[in-house]
Amino acid sequence: MIERISTAYYRLPLEPSGDAGHGSLDTEELVTVELAAEGLVGHGYAYTIGRGGRAVRALIDHDLAPLLVGQEAGDVDALWERMWRGLLYVGRGGLAAFAIAALDIALWDLRGLREGKPLVALAGGTARPIPAYGSGVDLPKPLDGLLRQVEGFLARGYPGVKVKIGREDFEEDVERVAAVRRLVGDGIDLMIDANMGWSLGQALERGGRLAEQNPYWLEEPIIPEDVPGHARLARELPMPIAIGESLHSPREFERYIAERALGVLQIDPVTNGGITPTLRVLEMANQASLPTSSHYTDELSAHLLCASTNPIYLEKHAFALDRYLERPQVVTDGKVRPTDDPGTGLRFDREALRPYAAD
């Protein structure tokens, strides 16, 4: 039985950075959850890119924890439904998805501890290495800074790199992507990410021009509500369209898949509403034979992508939480593996987090 749920809130400083959709970024918010049941403690978390974290924590403390305390911890699917239903009126996505996710991640961790199995096994996957790509949040960086960052990714052995696009002057995007392609050569995969900064018309025209640099995918070209627009881009542009980090439930993914509006499905077990819905989404991707990748959540995604039949890349994010973890994720030959310990294997280093604790 779930006996106790506690939360903490941190404001983690980021090197000032930004992208075309979310503007300037200098803070990551982290909400951690500890969920105690029968002598074990499951750990979970949610993050934001600077706003909304306190509301996520309040939803957990005031609205979701009372729905879980006193319940049996074992049936995670049923508990996820209970939380989703409990916030239905103010939910079906948005902040509610983040709050539910933090608890759902803790419930999966707890289940792993109880059963003595790593998350990858609970997810029905076979542990195996997944290629990782170096991912920058670099839109404001001058060109030489951008190239230095990419050189750093190459030095770490990543077989792919991603850069942000969506500068106010599109000619700068063209110049920057071409310069990165010249730097990395043809043997490295080059992803580009517009973070929803374009209109559909811009995406059609600009995506067509950037296709000259043979990008591996074009990520979040336009707002996520425009599924038909994504379907048109998927039909008319030569590179695959990647999306997922801004979708907050399996239903949203379902529409994208039904309308053939994406070419690479990206999971994020925090923004997608938890591990429970992410596994449903991966099952849909398998049914549709869609390649998968991940957004942020490097440690959890190393487990979950093993449940995909075609996991092409894990995103090794510039903001990765590694420096705040007891055991940072290991990258070997440009690949990552899920951890072997029971549960998620993710434990925060409270000493490293302590200076950033906030109310």
Cα-based distances in Å from 305 to 43, 226, 279: 20, 26, 9
CB 345, CB 327: distance < 8 Å: yes
Q: Is 193 in the site for Mg ion (CB under 5 A)?
A: yes
Residue 75: both structure tokens together = 């049936």
* Catalytic residue selected from 141, 162, 295, 303: 295
Q: Is 270 helix (H, G, I), strand (E, B) or coil?
A: coil
Q: Which positions ≥6 away from 28 have C-beta within 8 Å?
A: 11, 12, 14, 47, 48, 49, 50, 319
CB of 155 to Mg ion, least distance (A): 23
Helices vs. strands in the chain: H and E counts, helices first = 13, 12
Choose between 5 and 139: whose C-beta lies nearer to Mg ion: 139
Q: Any bridge partners for residue 161, and if so which?
A: 134, 190
Choose between 29 and 193: whose C-beta lies nearer to Mg ion: 193
Going by their DSSP bridges, the two strands 23-37 and 40-48 should be labelled as antiparallel
CA 1 and chain centroid, separation: 30
CB of 224 to Mg ion, least distance (A): 11
Give catalytic status of residue 335 as yes or no.
no
Choose between 15 and 72: whose C-beta lies nearer to Mg ion: 15
* Catalytic residue selected from 141, 164, 230, 303: 164
Helix or strand (DSSP H, E) at 262 = none
Choose between 28 and 109: whose C-beta lies nearer to Mg ion: 28
Q: Is 104 in the site for Mg ion (CB under 5 A)?
A: no
Q: Which positions ≥6 away from 35 have C-beta within 8 Å?
A: 2, 4, 5, 41, 42, 43, 44, 68, 73, 103, 106, 107, 110
Segment interacting with Mg ion (CB under 5 A) among 45-53, 92-100, 103-111, 214-222: 214-222
Tell me which residues in 271-330 interact with Mg ion (CB under 5 A).
Answer: none
CB of 320 to Mg ion, least distance (A): 14
What character string, x for contact with Mg ion (CB under 5 A) and - otherwise, covers 217-236?
--x-----------------
CB of 195 to Mg ion, least distance (A): 6
DSSP state of 329: P
Choose between 42 and 224: whose C-beta lies nearer to Mg ion: 224
Strands of the sheet containing 40-48, edge to edge, are 2-19, 23-37, 40-48
Residue nearest to Mg ion (CB): 193
The count of residues interacting with Mg ion (CB under 5 A) is 2
CB of 21 to Mg ion, least distance (A): 8
Count of all residues that appear for the chain in the document:
359
CB of 168 to Mg ion, least distance (A): 19
Give catalytic status of residue 164 as yes or no.
yes
Choose between 109 and 299: whose C-beta lies nearer to Mg ion: 299
Q: By C-alpha distance, which of 210, 204, 191, 200 is closest to 150?
A: 191
Segment interacting with Mg ion (CB under 5 A) among 138-146, 186-194, 210-218, 232-240: 186-194
Q: Could you give the residue numbers annotated as active site?
A: 164, 295
**Residues near Mg ion, by CB under 5 A:** 193, 219
